[in-house]
């Protein structure tokens, strides 16, 4: 996954947050789109 840029929509939701963490752990550069900025504090 290195050298990949991935955009995740809904990254602060239940599935999205796990997906973002997995992609980041795999070495991807992750862009996250969220509606509620407060819910995305884990990023």
Task: Answer for the pair 43, 21: CB distance below 8 angstroms, yes or no.
Answer: no
**1-43 pLDDT tens trace:** 788 999 999 998 999 999 999 999 999 999 999 998 888 887 8
Instruction: Give how many domains the chain has, as a whole number.
Output: 1
Angstrom CA distances, 24 to 8, 29, stand at: 11, 7
Question: What pLDDT is recorded for position 25?
Answer: 95
Task: Answer for the pair 20, 42: CB distance below 8 angstroms, yes or no.
Answer: no
Predicted TM-score of the model (pTM): 0.81
Q: Which domain holds residue 29?
A: 5-40
Runs of H (alpha helix) within the chain? 14-25
How far apart CA 28 and CA 7 sit, in angstroms, is 10
**CA 3 to the chain's CA centroid:** 16
């Amino acid at each position: 996954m290195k050298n990949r840029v991935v955009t995740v929509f809904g990254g602060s939701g239940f599935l999205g947050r796990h997906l973002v963490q997995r992609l980041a752990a795999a070495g991807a550069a992750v862009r996250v789109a969220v509606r509620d900025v407060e819910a995305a504090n884990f990023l």
